[in-house]
Amino acid sequence: MTIRATGHVTRVLKRAIPHGFKGVYKINIVGSTGAGKTEFLRCLLGDLFEPSAEAQRRSNTENMVDATHTWFRIGREKEESTTTVSLNTVGILLVRTLFNSIEFHPVKEVEQLLLRDDIEEIWQFVFFDNAGQERFDFMPQITMRGADAVIVLADGTNMASIEKISYFLELTREEEYRASDGINQIPVFILLNKRDLIERGFYIGLESVRHMIGSTEEYVFYETSMKTGEGVDDTIRSLISRLYEKSLEQR
Ligand SMILES: Nc1nc2c(ncn2[C@@H]2O[C@H](COP(=O)(O)OP(=O)(O)OP(=O)(O)O)[C@@H](O)[C@H]2O)c(=O)[nH]1
Ligand SMILES: [Mg+2]
């Protein structure tokens, strides 16, 4: 369905490329299981996000990362924890208006958008929400191909999840070499998620993560919470400005 919708947008855009259309970008979302990748898309897109992949209740013993997963309570309910067991892909139009607000629209709305006169830019994003369990580690190796940007999520309350960031940075680096002999750098955004749990003393701050990763200048870091939405808007704005800069460099 995504493919057909994407084709439709491409056809419409070929007929009438709106002023400011930036093209189609593949955004690969990776990170260990339970980091909050699926929750990130839900937080970002609200009702527009319809997971295509199956979700299952998390097994807490399946692998090392799961075994250290922090369980917590929000209010009186024990949080229902789920895990993606396949791949979610979401095609979406991101619109930045002349008033600098950001909107998301389903791709099928492209024709209506062309009629509006308050649009600064339209981006078409395809988000890839990978399954994070170790038995699915082959998946980001495949989805990394052709990625225009990578979002690495880590559960900021979980050391094993943070340690796995380096693994995803390595995969990104490999893709840079595969695609362009390392010349074309893929923008990487590292999100240390679950910031809302800081009051419970579980949250490991960004400083220690920076320290762990070493050379950090090439990466953009944010502390995020998919419960409060903290850092999510900043991430998206920073993503589009980075992609925009890159598109200028490549001209
Ligand atoms: N407190 C808190 N919980 C979060 C946050 N983000 C995600 N969660 C919870 O953490 C659990 C895992 O989130 P998911 O988005 O399913 O994790 P995932 O990265 O998609 O995991 P996999 O699909 O297994 O790779 C869920 O119960 C979420 O509700 C956050 O910012 N704060
Ligand atoms: Mg998921």
Question: At 199, is the secondary structure helix, strand, or coil?
Answer: helix
Percent of the chain whose pLDDT exceeds 90: 55
Predicted local confidence at residue 26, as pLDDT: 95
Q: What is the mean pLDDT of the segment spanning 47-74?
A: 57
Q: What angle do CA 203, 217, 137 make, to 5 degrees?
A: 60
Query: Domains along the chain?
Result: 26-47+57-86+127-249 (3.40.50.300)
Nearest ligand 1 atom to the CA of 32 is 25
Nearest ligand 1 atom to the CA of 130 is 25
Best probe residue, ligand 1, of 28, 38, 40 (max atoms within 8 Å of C-beta): 38
Predicted local confidence at residue 234, as pLDDT: 97
Going from the Cα of 98 to the center of ligand 1, the distance in angstroms, rounded, reads 34
- pLDDT higher than threshold 70 for residue 56: no
pLDDT tens track for 183-223 = 999 999 999 999 999 988 889 988 888 888 876 778 999 99
Q: Is the CB of 193 under 6 A from ligand 1?
A: yes
- pLDDT higher than threshold 60 for residue 60: no
Q: Is the CB of 43 under 6 A from ligand 1?
A: no
Q: What is the mean pLDDT of the segment spanning 13-29?
A: 75
Contacts of 156 (CB under 8 A, 6+ apart): 162, 192, 193, 194, 195, 197, 202, 203, 204, 209, 223
Q: Is the CB of 231 under 6 A from ligand 1?
A: no
Going from the Cα of 89 to the center of ligand 2, the distance in angstroms, rounded, reads 11
Neighbouring-strand partners of residue 102 = 96
Query: Structure pTM?
Result: 0.88
Nearest ligand 1 atom to the CA of 40 is 15
Residue 2 pLDDT grade (very low, low, confident, very high; cuts 50, 70, 90):
very low
The alpha-carbon radius of gyration of the chain (Å, integer) is 18
Q: Is the CB of 35 under 6 A from ligand 1?
A: yes
Residue 226 pLDDT grade (very low, low, confident, very high; cuts 50, 70, 90):
very high
Percent of the chain whose pLDDT exceeds 70: 80
pLDDT tens track for 239-251 = 999 998 888 887 6
pLDDT tens track for 93-122 = 999 999 999 999 998 898 888 888 898 888
Predicted local confidence at residue 64, as pLDDT: 42
Q: What is the mean pLDDT of the segment spanning 145-164?
A: 95
pLDDT tens track for 64-80 = 444 334 444 444 444 55
Predicted local confidence at residue 236, as pLDDT: 97
Contacts of 77 (CB under 8 A, 6+ apart): none
- pLDDT higher than threshold 80 for residue 4: no
